[in-house]
Amino acid sequence: MKQRLSADNTVACATCHRPDHAFLEPTAVSTGIGGQKDEGRFVVTKKDADRGAFKTPTLRDVTRHPPYQHDGSVSTLREVVELYNRGGHKNPYLDVKMEPLGLSPAEVDAIVAFLETLEGQGYQDKAPQAFPQ
């Protein structure tokens, strides 16, 4: 699989999901979901740059917690990868790091297969009980 690089020459997924034990970045990012209906981190900071921004979740045990995104708007991991492959949902608050990845269908398959390997025992996580309306 070719590595798609972001503007700062890092593998694009690793921009927000660092390759560490939890595969997460403890900052908030706008993938274009929300922003207009759900203001995200802006509610706390009152900074326009935080409109529609949400904390990047861990990828550990990601297969166990559908639906995905902060609002439950994406049903499958494949749909998540395809969303990021398109560069997120275009809106005025989309994070500058969000850009199309240009992945082939085989590369999307490989990323989904990789995500499915991130299951394990002992990771203490609970799926959300409700999503914003």
**Could you tell me if residue 129 is inside a domain?**
no
Q: Is residue 67 part of a domain?
A: yes
Dist CA 91 CA 93 (whole Å): 6
Residue 83 φ/ψ, nearest 5 degrees: -60, -50
For residue 54, the cross-strand partners are: 29
Is residue 110 in a domain? yes
In a domain, 5, yes or no: no
Find out whether 31 and 53 touch, Cβ atoms under 8 Å: no
DSSP 105: H
| Total domain count, the chain | 1
Report the distance separating Cα 44 and Cα 46, nearest Å: 6
Distance CA 76, CA 38 (A): 21
Is residue 127 in a domain? no
pLDDT digits (tens, 9 = 90+) for 33-63: 755 678 888 888 999 888 888 888 888 888 8
Helix (H) or strand (E) holding 111: helix 105-116
The answer to whether position 124 is within a domain reads no
CATH assignment at residue 89: 1.10.760.10
92 is a domain residue? yes
Domain span at residue 82 reads 12-116
Stretch 99-104: mean pLDDT: 89
In a domain, 123, yes or no: no
Instruction: Quote the CA–CA distance of 76 and 12 in Å, as a whole number.
Output: 20
- Confidence class for position 79, pLDDT limits 50, 70, 90: very high
Q: What's the pLDDT at 120?
A: 75
